[in-house]
């Protein structure tokens, strides 16, 4: 097995394609456990793709996603206890979503003790514990969840279903979000930023 790996690595390097080699490792063990020192190996072999751990698509990815979404580069524990509806995309709340212990405690409250009970719609590409425990489980094809989210946002705006106390409203009180049409009417935003621009650039044509 080691000879097979060595032969293939040598073949890539001989062709000047060392960058095509990647070394990935999972959670719970790493390169040091198998006697590989990552930085020197990466420099010696000539690939920038050595030493990619689980964190790149787990904890670090979570922090980066939150930073891009709301400017908060850290883990978050949202105010689930006061939410009456949860719409979750790929957030396996009961199996692997952070912070896990808090999530389990919160779930017992919002789905059992709280009045009214929090209704949950979960979207994912595979059946899991969270979908099984939700009021509505939506199984989607991999890569189509973004289209679903945009269609939902389109309907919320086009049908005037947004929370005006949180989002704001058009200055004349009329809904100017019309499918396929750009908006130029002034909109007083409260806790959002760039809503009409988002409609004009992305949402106006995202009909379900």
Same-domain status, 159 and 130: no
Cross-strand bridge partners of residue 24 = 52
Residue 178 located in a structural domain: yes
Give the model confidence (pLDDT) of 142-191 as tens digits. 999 999 999 999 999 999 999 999 999 999 999 999 999 999 999 999 99
Residue 68 located in a structural domain: no
Among the listed residues 136, 133, 112, 110, the one whose alpha carbon sits nearest the alpha carbon of residue 123: 136
pLDDT band at 61 (very low <50, low <70, confident <90, very high): confident
For the chain, give the number of residues: 208
Is the pTM higher than 0.85? The answer reads: no
The pLDDT value given to residue 50:
82
Cross-strand bridge partners of residue 89 = 123
| Residue that has been written with the tokens 């896990």 in this structure | 100
The pLDDT value given to residue 38:
73
CB 40 within 8 A of CB 68: no
**What percent of the chain has a predicted confidence (pLDDT) above 90?**
68
Q: What is the mean pLDDT of residues 28-48?
A: 74
Return the SS3 of 133.
Answer: helix
Cβ atoms within 10 Å, residue 126? 8
Give the model confidence (pLDDT) of 72-82 as tens digits. 888 777 899 99
Same-domain status, 1 and 53: yes
Residue 73 located in a structural domain: no
Structural domains of the chain, count: 3
Residue 20 scores a pLDDT above 90: yes
Residue 69 located in a structural domain: no
| Residue that has been written with the tokens 């904890």 in this structure | 59
The pLDDT value given to residue 32:
62
Residue 26 scores a pLDDT above 90: no
């Amino acid at each position: 097995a080691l000879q097979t790996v060595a032969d293939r690595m040598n073949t890539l390097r001989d062709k000047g394609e060392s960058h095509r080699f990647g070394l990935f490792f999972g959670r719970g063990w790493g390169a040091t456990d198998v006697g590989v020192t990552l930085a020197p190996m990466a420099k010696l072999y000539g690939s920038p793709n050595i030493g990619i751990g689980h964190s790149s698509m787990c904890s670090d990815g979570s922090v980066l996603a939150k930073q891009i979404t709301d400017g908060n580069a850290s883990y978050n524990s949202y105010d689930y206890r006061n939410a009456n509806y949860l719409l979750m995309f790929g957030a396996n709340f009961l199996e692997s979503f952070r912070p896990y212990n808090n999530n389990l405690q919160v779930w017992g409250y919002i789905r059992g003790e709280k009045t009214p009970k929090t209704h949950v719609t979960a979207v994912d590409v595979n059946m899991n514990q969270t979908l099984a425990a939700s009021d509505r489980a939506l199984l989607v094809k991999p890569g189509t969840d973004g289209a679903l989210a945009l269609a939902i946002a389109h309907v919320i705006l086009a049908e005037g279903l947004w929370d005006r106390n949180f989002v704001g409203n058009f200055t004349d009180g009329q809904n100017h979000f019309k499918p396929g049409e750009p908006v130029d009417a002034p909109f007083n935003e409260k806790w959002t930023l760039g809503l009409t621009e988002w409609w004009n650039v992305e949402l106006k044509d995202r009909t379900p």
